[in-house]
Chains A and B, each alone.
Chain A
Amino acid sequence: QVNLVQSGAELRKPGASVKISCKTSGFAFSNFYMHWVRQAPGQGPEWIGIINPNGGSPSFAQRFQDRVTMTRDTSTATVYMEMSSLRSDDTAVYYCARDRLAGIPAENFHHWGQGTLVTVSS
């Protein structure tokens, strides 16, 4: 059974950084691309970026290029997303999601974490 468990809610001040974890289980970690998607209150989801658990450089939506990093730890089957220079409009629920197809980045978000609320407020 595929399971993605994310770290807990975070409160940050504008200009700060936040790092969210997503621990995976129930599937071969190295076989599936992982994504980060966020959803602001009352809005549709928004793709942030993708990481290949086998290594290589992650890829991001252009608007996040300068302030997002994604890493993975194969020993614990965990992926991480760190966002810096936070603004109030970064307040959202952040999700990790596993791709549907093994071995290729299909951008089909098949399994999702439970979400992590990040609140940016002074």
Chain B
Amino acid sequence: DIQMTQSPSSLSASVGDRVTITCQASLDIGNSLIWYQQKPGKAPKLLIYDASTLEAGVPSHFSGSGSGTKFTFTISSLQAEDIATYYCQQYDSVPPTFGGGTKVEIK
């Protein structure tokens, strides 16, 4: 199985800050990467697929980049409603696998 390693596991930032999360795959996955947002008690929500394509209706202050084994998720200006845990997931090969998550909090 492909291992997905996310960092950091948690971060604290101020409203308006730029936030960056990284995800590393144990094998080359091309651009087959998704980013999800999960709020407490809720199901994950798909934000970005194909590493950098924003899902319809997702605010433009979210973005993703990368290919191969290294990927980045960025919140350009952190909003209070962005408080959540973010997960990456590869879908290049079965089984699809997830990163361990990054919990984003407000400082």
Contacts of B34 in A (CB 8 A): 108-109
B91 touches A106 (CB 8 A): yes
In the assembly, what is the distance between CA of A112 and CA of B46, in Å?
Answer: 10
In-complex Cβ contact of B43 among A44, A62, A108, A112 (8 A): A112
| Cβ proximity bits A38-68 to B, threshold 8 Å, 1 near / 0 not | 0000011111000000000001011000000
Alpha-carbon separation in the docked complex, A109 to B99 (Å) = 15
* Interface size bracket, B side: 10 to 19
Q: How many A-B residue pairs have CB under 8 A?
A: 43
Complex CA distance for A113 and B100, rounded to whole angstroms: 21
Known contacts A95-B43, A112-B44: does B91 contact A107 (CB below 8 Å)?
yes
Contacts of B99 in A (CB 8 A): 44
A100 within 8 A of B: yes
B36, B45, B96, B99 interface centre (most CB from chain A within 10 Å): B96
Q: List 5 A-B contacts (CB under 8 A).
A: A45-B36, A47-B95, A97-B43, A109-B44, A112-B43
